[in-house]
Chains A and B, each alone.
Chain A
Amino acid sequence: MASRSLQLKILSAVAVFGAWQIAGMIPVSYAFPTFLESMSALGRMAVDGSLYQAYLETLKPLVVGVAISAFLGIGLGLWIGLSSKFDWLFSPIFIVMQAAPLAALIPLLVMAYGIGLTSKVFVVCIMAMPVIVLNTAGAVRNTPSSIKEMGRSFLGTDVDIILKIIIPAASPVIFSGLRLGISAGFIGAILAELKITPTGVGDIITYSRSIADYPSMYAAIFSIILLAVVFLNIVERLEAYLFEGNVRGYASD
């Protein structure tokens, strides 16, 4: 089974990259390099070290923003899910945050916090936090009342019920929120680098485009997608490690 799923993954990668290669060779556009050209540009940037320097720059707001969003977001989400007063107070903020077009808010953030790290962290948080908070709150609110009642009747304290019943029960949805939030955080980090000040990977993208070095531009885009996929896989592993039962598919019970 595992090897079959690996085979399918490889097959799907070959199909996508093959299509990319062919499309680049036709070419569909002057500005569209082939897969191999992009990969050699990626290799070149990796060898001369410019890629790592760029990621050092990009990862700062990304990691800080995602970490804040994850901890604060899950914490706030728990609170919102547990208390209806808190729900009334805070849910609207996150719903508005989720609906707001971020690009339009960036000039306001720059005016308030300048063009440094703070603004970029904010952009990442605005992208990542709402979905984490709202998913967590929804999952906590929808914990089956009978197992909460069971916890109370067997003398569980409030802390017991939150830690041993509500969080494990909500964990599949919390983690799906976390995955969505992290991918939104990646969007936010790149958006910040494109819209605020060109640094890191955003700089490679902007600069390569301006000098028509399209293979480098596509290589940078490809690398950030790859990183996001790897990151999401790590989160998935973390979930499987922390909440073993979630991968067992009991939800379809």
Chain B
Amino acid sequence: MVMPQIKDPIGHLEMRAPPNAVVARGVSKTYGDVEALKNLSLEFPKGQLTSLLGPSGCGKTTLLKIIGGLLEPTAGEIEVNGTPVKGPGPDRAFVFQDFALLPWANVLRNVAFGLELRGAAKSEREAIAEKYIAEVGLSGFEKAFPHELSGGMRQRVGLARALSVDADVLLMDEPFSAVDEQTRRKFQEDLLRLVQNENKTFIFVTHSIEEAVYVSDQIAILLPRPSRVLEIIRPAIERNKNVDNIRRDPEYLDIVDKIWAALRSYVE
């Protein structure tokens, strides 16, 4: 910014490939003797959905939590929009595997809770929360409590909470693994729409190959012990033509097969 003469060439570079919203550089994490992540580097392009896919124990959730600032890496660093991560920040929002809703608070307060912690005024945060409750299709359930909702609806609350803080990067830790198969498919379709409509970067942890291929612009396949990136796949599936046809697309089927062939020897 302060040196205008170097601004232009960077602008040219950005034209060719989308800039990265999140960059992981040489990230390692050890728990005592256990090496969860070893020297892992990965780039997450802006406005796209990147999946972290791998067998259990490959450190995908650990990486996500390090990006979220919830865990400190033992070595290496994470940059979000060019700024190194020191802890949780307003540029990232988390969607949790087990929803992490407050059981004593109704849907409205749960969705507004992220804004409440940021000190937004009650009327303001409730107006924003209402908007996102409608967007995830939960209108009419504002006064309901989490125990009155199905698993799928609870995760919609978690999603609305993450959307309402308007972060650039959405971190999703196996968000659909605790909901049933049909709800899950609906969620995946909604997620595609969300990636298109919201100008956000999504980082999505999953252990389902089909899910990763279905929703991702970029898939990072992680391998365990020691954790490393095996391959980065960018599925060239034409998603706009019809969501119903994605699962029949030859490209989709080929990539699913290819990933399974690569992973099968690592699954006990």
Interface assignment of B127: CB less than 8 Å from any CB of chain A: no
Kindly specify which of B4-12, B36-44, B97-105, B237-245 makes contact with the partner chain.
Answer: B97-105
User: Would you call B165 an interface residue if the criterion is a C-beta within 8 Å of the partner chain's C-beta atoms?
Assistant: yes
Report A212-244 CB contacts with B as 1/0, cut-off 8 Å.
000000000000000000000000000000011
Contact partners of A153 in chain B: CB under 8 A: 68-70, 88, 92-94
Given known pairs A146-B100, A149-B70, A168-B104, the reply for A250 and B94 (CB within 8 Å) is no
Looking at the complex, which of A42-50, A55-63, A76-84, A154-162 is the stretch in contact with chain B?
A154-162
Nearest CB on A from B157, distance (A):
12
**Residues of chain A contacted by B105 (CB below 8 angstroms):** 245
* A246 contacts the other chain (CB 8 A): yes
Per the CB 8 Å criterion, the residue count for chain B at the interface is 27
Q: Is the interface of B mostly helix, strand, loop or mixed?
A: loop
Count, chain A residues at interface, CB 8 A: 24
Per the 8 Å Cβ criterion, residues 60-74 of B in contact with A are 68-70
Tell me the smallest distance from the CB of B128 to a CB of chain A, in Å: 14
| Chain A residues positioned under 8 Å from B93 (CB to CB) | 153-154
Closest Cβ–Cβ distance, residue A155 to chain B (whole Å): 6
Known contacts A146-B98, A149-B96, A155-B117; is-contact A245 B88 (Cβ 8 Å)? no
Closest to B99 in A: A146
CB B14 to nearest CB in A, in angstroms, measures 29
A18 to B250, CA, bound (A): 82
Contact A151 B145 (CB under 8 A): no
B185 at the interface (CB under 8 A from A): no
Which residue of the partner chain B has the closest CB to A152?
B88
What chain B residues lie within 8 Å of A169 (beta carbons)?
A: 102, 104
Q: Which of A154, A157, A164, A253 contacts B103, CB < 8 Å?
A: A253
Any B CB within 8 A of the CB of A23: no
Please tell me if B89 contacts chain A, counting CB pairs below 8 Å. Answer: yes
Contacts A168-B104, A250-B104; is A150 near B94 (CB within 8 Å)? yes
Known contacts: A153-B70, A153-B88. The answer to whether A246 contacts B104 by CB under 8 A is yes
| CA gap between A250 and B149 in the complex, in Å | 12
Contact assessment for A155 and B145 in the assembled complex, using a CB-CB cutoff below 8 Å: no
Q: Write the nearest CB–CB distance from B107 to chain A, whole angstroms.
A: 13
Enumerate B7-53 residues with CB–CB distance to A below 8 Å.
Answer: none
B117 partner, pick from A146, A149, A160, A168, beta carbons under 8 A: A160
A positions within 8 Å CB-CB of B? 144, 146-147, 149-157, 160, 164-165, 168-169, 243-246, 248, 250, 253
List 3 A-B pairs, minimum CB-CB distance, nearest first.
A245-B104, A150-B100, A154-B114
A-B pairs with beta carbons under 8 Å apart, 29 shown:
A144-B100, A149-B94, A150-B96, A151-B117, A152-B70, A152-B88, A153-B69, A153-B93, A153-B94, A154-B113, A154-B161, A154-B165, A155-B89, A155-B90, A156-B117, A160-B117, A164-B117, A165-B102, A168-B102, A243-B104, A244-B104, A245-B105, A246-B104, A248-B104, A248-B147, A250-B103, A250-B146, A253-B146, A253-B147
